[in-house]
């Protein structure tokens, strides 16, 4: 039964941030799953050009991913703002693909079907990983979202304190007895 007079409850800032972040992860998960299926069923056909482009991107991205993880481990600031799950769960892909890319450049490409399956496996792993992150971060938000919430509250308090100052210090009052008015 529908009730027309009830108002919807507004989401607080943290719930809104979690919802936006979860939707973002869900969209990425669907994109990666779709791309993986397109490569697996060869809707997007394999070619030597795609294999070389994929190998270059995953080789560079693999070293960047490993470097980002090492930076995350070495920097206390980054550890406070990011999640270990996010960084560690993506690490197996570059660790597997860097040697494969080096072998591909050294010996030439493998048969096309092997790359179709590999593309599918990588994209499927990313889709599942982002889905796991979506569920995990809904219940345990990443520290960056919590920092944003605190920053918003601080900014609101600062604005509330600054508002009376912008209007003027205090209203003008009439001079007291014995004082000269200016």
| Count of alpha carbons within 13 angstroms of residue 118, beta-carbon side | 20
* Band of residue 182 on the pLDDT scale cut at 50, 70, 90: very low
| 112-to-31, 37, 54, 56, 93 alpha-carbon distances in Å | 22, 15, 13, 17, 20
Q: What is the DSSP code (8-state) at residue 91?
A: T
Task: Lowest mean pLDDT of 79-83, 87-91, 134-138, name the range.
Answer: 79-83
Q: Which residues contact 115 (CB under 8 A, 6 or more apart)?
A: 46, 50, 51, 54, 109
Residues 161-170, mean pLDDT to the nearest whole number: 59
Q: Flag whether pLDDT at 101 surpasses 80.
A: yes
The domain spans of the chain are: 14-149
Q: Of 22, 50, 9, 47, nearest to 140 (Cα)?
A: 22
Distance CA 117, CA 111 (A): 11
Residue 35 token pair: 């791309």
What's the pLDDT at 109? 73
pLDDT, tens digit, for every residue of 115-127?
889 899 999 999 9
pLDDT of 40 > 90? The answer is yes
41-61 tens-digit pLDDT? 999 988 888 888 989 999 999
Residue with tokens 């080096």: 102
Quickly state the pLDDT bin for 35 (edges 50, 70, 90): very high
Alpha-carbon gap, residue 151 to 29, rounded angstroms:
29
Model pLDDT, residue 166 = 55
For residue 63, how many C-alpha atoms fall within 13 Å in the half-sphere facing its CB?
8
Query: Is the pTM higher than 0.75?
Result: no
- Residue ranges of alpha helices (H) inside 75-142 are 76-81, 84-90, 92-107, 112-139
Q: Which of 46, 70, 56 lies closest to 102, judged by CA?
A: 56
């Amino acid at each position: 039964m529908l009730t027309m007079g009830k108002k919807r409850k507004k989401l607080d800032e943290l719930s809104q941030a979690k919802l936006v972040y979860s939707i973002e992860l869900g969209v990425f998960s669907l994109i990666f799953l779709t791309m993986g299926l397109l490569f697996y069923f060869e809707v997007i056909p394999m070619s030597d050009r795609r294999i070389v482009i994929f190998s270059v991107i995953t080789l560079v991205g693999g070293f960047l991913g490993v470097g980002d993880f090492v930076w995350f481990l070495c920097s206390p600031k980054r550890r406070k703002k990011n999640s270990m799950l996010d960084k560690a769960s993506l690490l197996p892909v570059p660790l597997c693909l860097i040697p494969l890319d080096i072998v591909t450049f050294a010996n030439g490409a493998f048969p096309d079907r092997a790359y179709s399956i590999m593309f599918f496996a990588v994209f499927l792993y990313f889709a599942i990983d982002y889905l796991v992150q979506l569920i995990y971060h809904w219940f345990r938000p990443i520290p960056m979202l919590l920092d944003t919430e605190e920053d918003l509250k601080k900014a609101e308090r600062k604005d509330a304190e600054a508002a009376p100052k912008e209007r003027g210090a205090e209203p003008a009052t009439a001079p007291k007895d014995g004082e000269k008015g200016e």
